[in-house]
Amino acid sequence: MAIDRAKFIQANMPVAEVPSLPEILLHTSHPASGLWRLAESIDGGDPEPPYWAYLWAGGAALARYILEQPQSVRGLKVLDLGAGSGIIAIAAAKAGASHVLAAEIDQNAIAALQLNAAINNVALTLIGDDLTSGSPPAVDLVVVGDLFYGPELASRVIAFLDRCLDAGINVLIGDPERAHLPVDRLELIAEYFVPDVGQVKTSTVKSSVFRLRPR
């Protein structure tokens, strides 16, 4: 029988403040959440790892930056590419963005996004398609957290972001300098010490916020 994703998340992932971001609440995983059951509920193919269910350092840093520097998004149309749990999109909405698009292809993440937007009292427009193969939507700013952990994904993301820059869209990236980050094209604008997936609960790592420069 198919799992009701929203009910599963509400029952197994309690709402909690985000470490280092108390302004934001998220449904939060723990060892007994049983997320493998959600992964197996997606039809076809191998289950996707539940990346969306964990706090990643790039997203945490970029969300922190947006909340501390609301002028970076105020009044703008913003696209959060690979939105995951929605932490960056929610921060942008709270900071005064006029419209926030949250693009995510994982069906379980989309369910979590809807719930997380509701508990934070923000409105997000959800996009369930892979945007990296097409033209960018009509936005002013694209925000990207933690999408440079694999070579194939990083290549697709960079190509899409270049099309955004060509269209006059600014790009902000949050990342703890993972292997496939295009470091030679980045302008550092902020650094934070934040939690990261796979780290001891009380530990933090340095994560940076960058502006992507044109080729």
Q: Is the pLDDT assigned to residue 43 strictly greater than 70? A: no
Q: How many domains are contained in the chain?
A: 1
Copy the structure tokens of residue 138. Answer: 């009509």
Q: Cα(202)–Cα(200) distance, rounded to whole angstroms? A: 6
What is the reported pLDDT for 45? Answer: 56
Strand intervals (E) in the chain: 15-18, 21-27, 77-81, 99-103, 125-127, 141-145, 170-175, 186-194, 205-212
Locate tokens 């997606």: which residue? 42
Residue 189: alpha-carbon gap to chain centroid: 19
Task: Give pLDDT tens digits for 155-214.
Answer: 999 999 999 999 999 999 999 999 999 999 999 999 999 999 866 667 899 999 999 999
| Residues spanned by the domain of 21 | 5-212
pLDDT for residue 111: 96
**What pTM was estimated for this model as a whole?**
0.94
Q: Looking at residue 49, what DSSP letter applies?
A: P
Encode pLDDT of 168-182 as tens digits: 999 999 999 999 999
Q: Distance between CA 119 and CA 15 in Å, rounded?
A: 8
CATH number for position 184: 3.40.50.150
